[in-house]
Amino acid sequence: MLEELKKEVYDANMQLPKLGLVTFTWGNVSGIDRGKGLFVIKPSGVPYDELTPDDMVVVNLQGEVVEGDLNPSSDTPTHTYLYNHFPKIGGIVHTHSPWAVSFAAARMDIPALNTTHADTFYTDVPAADALTKEEIEEDYEGNTGKVIIRSFKERHLDYEATPAALVMQHGPFTWGPTPAKAVYNAKVLEVVAEEDYHSMMLNRSNIHLPQYLLDKHYYRKHGKNAYYGQNNAHSKDHAKRENK
């Protein structure tokens, strides 16, 4: 079942250690088949070098395991909630990457300070509310998804334009149209968090990126008037040459 998606999710998970985004088993990637209403996620606590595509677990949008011999990631309820409330995303990543976690632990948004940020995230990356004692005891992982959704609603943020959030005192979640793109966004977030930390140590004044420069960099990559990169025909031709 969903063999191609399992391979896609497996490949995306294997990028996390390669990109320096996870230590030990501290992270996971999932990907969804919207037509079937099912998603595939990494199993819980299995070392990356022991994983295979067949180890990926298939889960429905009620959070129930449909196929798989291993327990799914402990963060499965968070992924489930995000897929149900962010209908256009196709992949989700959670890591404990240190620079992003530093902002989460400090209960701080990751601010838009430079064009590296603006190329991927249209606003500050929000630090969602810390979970209460009651929320943790009731449904820790499910309520983690709820505080992310609540934060985006309260701040009137577009989840496609800012495809990331921090959970206070926990860590980052990113998403995208595919599992691979969600991983890309996770790496960009970690790079931006490190850059911001150093910038804020060097200059304590308001160094937010001006809106006009943020707009320029975000919209040159996104939207109908984007012009960064190559057109689809050129990209497909290049991919064909690479595969020969």
Confidence of residue 230 (pLDDT cuts 50, 70, 90): confident
Give pLDDT, residue 12. Answer: 98
Residue extents of the structural domains in the chain = 3-209
CA-CA distance, 167 to 189, in Å (whole number)?
A: 14
Give pLDDT, residue 241. Answer: 45
pLDDT of 212 > 70? The answer is: yes
Per-residue pLDDT tens for 91-109?
999 999 999 999 999 999 9
pLDDT of 242 > 50? The answer is: no
CA-CA distance, 180 to 19, in Å (whole number)?
A: 12
Which of 103-107, 159-163, 204-208 has the least mean pLDDT? 204-208
Confidence of residue 234 (pLDDT cuts 50, 70, 90): low
CA-CA distance, 194 to 125, in Å (whole number)?
A: 13
Q: What amino acid positions are annotated as catalytic residues?
A: 119, 228
Question: β-strand 127-128 against 91-95: which pairing, if any?
Answer: unpaired
Section 78-100 average pLDDT = 98
Using a 10 angstrom Cβ sphere, with 0-12 exposed, 13-18 middle and 19 or more buried, the burial of residue 43 is buried
Distances (CA, A) of 208 to 52, 120, 160, 230: 43, 16, 21, 30
CA-CA distance, 21 to 94, in Å (whole number)?
A: 9
Confidence of residue 204 (pLDDT cuts 50, 70, 90): confident
Residues, the chain, total?
244
Share of the chain above pLDDT 90, in %: 90
Section 215-224 average pLDDT = 94
> Which element (helix H / strand E) includes 45?
none
Section 75-97 average pLDDT = 98
* Fold assignment, 3-209: L-fuculose-1-phosphate Aldolase (3.40.225)
